[in-house]
Structures are given as C-alpha cells and as structure tokens.
Amino acid sequence: MSFSDYKTALVTGASTGMGAAIAERLAKRGLAVHAIARNEERLKELADRVGATPHALDLTDTAALRAAVGGLEIDVLVNCAGVSRPGNILDASEEDLDEIVDVNLRGLLQLTRLVLPGMVERDLGHIVNISSIAGLYNFYGHTAYHATKAAVHQISRQLRNDTVGKRIRVTEICPGRVETEIFGRNLGGSPEAMEEAWKTYYEGYESLTTEDIVDAVDYAIETPRHVNIGMLEIMPTFQVPGGLTFDRR
C-alpha cells in the first residue's frame, strides 16, 4: 500500500521536531495533513509552510480531541506526541507522572480509538507509533517515560490483533537519541537550557536527525500493500543499548 492508496494523514506533536518533519514529508507526498499540537504559533507556521490543517489542542483533552477529529476520515495516523521528565520514580512529582501518562499513553489510546474504526470500515489505513528504545531497554532515570513507551510498544503489536483480516497496517518506529528539543525542555525550555542540552547530549555525538526518522516513516508507508513493517529500531551507530550494573555494598 503506497502513498497513492492514501489521501489523508493526522500527525500529533506536529509543532516541532519529529512530528513537524513527518507532517511536512506527508504533505509533500500529496496527503492532506491534519496537525495536532499545543503550540498554536508553531502550528500556524507549519500550516503556512506545507498547507497542513492545524488543530491547536491538548492531546489530554479527550472532549476537544473528539470534537476536532471525530468526524474526519484519516488514512494515516502518526502518534508522535510525547513528553519526558528528568529523574526516576523516587523524585518524580505527581504532576510529572500524570502528564507523562496522559500524553504518551492515554492521549495515544484515545486518538487511536477515535480514528481506527473508520479505517476498519473502509478496510484501509496505517497507524505509525513513535516509541523509543526506552520502552525496550533499561537505563537509569525516566521511569514513567520507560513505562509509557513500553506500553506503546505493546499497543502497536496488539492493534494488529484487533484489526486482523482488515487491510490495516501498524508500524512502530523505535528511535535511539534524536536531535530534538526534548532534553532542552526537560531542563526548563529556556534558550539557556536548550544550549546546555545541546552541549550535554548532542555536541560531539553523531546522533540521529529528524530526517532519519522521517525516512523510516516514509519507507514503512511506501511498501506494497501486502507488506506490514511491524517495527523499526533505529539507533546511532555509536549508541548501543543494554549494560549490566551490579552494585557492591
């Protein structure tokens, strides 16, 4: 099922980073793109640049989500929105835990629930979930983020069971470190925080770029209709997962 089979797409987290880049590629591929994000100003810039239809709303507001997209026929759904917070469960705040679960997991489930029945009825559709290696491997910190991304991994597989016998494809894109704003936002989001994050996490490293992720999404959608790319794990060559710690007291 190549791009020629599809007419519309819906991308979350579309105001910046991977979401914005994916929305732009899908628009260039000829799809009518609906873009969801909280940042209205950045969404307007995206709309002006690529012709996407902006929906400035909070993904955790299910009523607003239903009002905005409940009546749309969406052929390609890209669940890209996500948040992270520094620290593990020992120093996480109540608000941080709620937001991570609400955006990364609850919002994804609710949006999929709204869009998927139409795909099943039309016997046509593709869901792309952007997860993370944090959902597959253990490393220090970000406990709730790991948990939600592990859930996205399982949801991606379960959706294939939920839609068996229908021409619905589900792809999980599982990236390692990508050059985005996520670390800077974790440090507060100020220009100084963004600069600090760049120096700490990206300067001197050969990280993935948003274009690498866009190319993966493009590949998964462009494959023939009898092919489902279930999961693509994409990591920088110099980044490896795993490792074992044995703490001696």
155-212 pLDDT, tens digit per residue, is 999 999 999 999 999 999 999 999 887 777 777 778 887 788 778 878 888 999 999 9
Summarised one tens digit per residue, pLDDT across range 84-141 is 887 789 999 999 999 999 999 999 999 999 999 999 999 999 999 999 999 999 888 7
What pLDDT score was predicted for residue 200?
80
112 vs 122: CA distance, rounded Å: 15
For residue 239, tell me if it sits in a domain. Answer: no
Check which CATH number belongs to the domain holding 95 and give it.
3.40.50.720
Check: pTM over 0.95? Answer yes or no. no
Instruction: Identify residue 166 by its one-letter amino acid code.
Output: K
What pLDDT score was predicted for residue 236?
95
For residue 243, tell me if it sits in a domain. Answer: no
- Catalytic member of 137, 145, 201, 219: 145
Would you place residue 46 in the very low, low, confident or very high pLDDT band (cuts 50, 70, 90)?
very high
37 vs 108: CA distance, rounded Å: 13
75 vs 231: CA distance, rounded Å: 19
| Mean pLDDT over each residue of the chain, to the nearest integer | 93
What pLDDT score was predicted for residue 1?
54
What pLDDT score was predicted for residue 246?
80
For residue 244, tell me if it sits in a domain. Answer: no
Does the annotation mark 201 as catalytic? no
What pLDDT score was predicted for residue 182?
77
For residue 68, tell me if it sits in a domain. Answer: yes
For residue 77, tell me if it sits in a domain. Answer: yes
For residue 105, tell me if it sits in a domain. Answer: yes
Q: Which residues constitute the domain of residue 216?
A: 3-234
Q: Give the chain's domain count.
A: 1
For residue 247, tell me if it sits in a domain. Answer: no
Of 218, 216, 180, nearest to 201 by C-alpha is: 180
For residue 147, tell me if it sits in a domain. Answer: yes
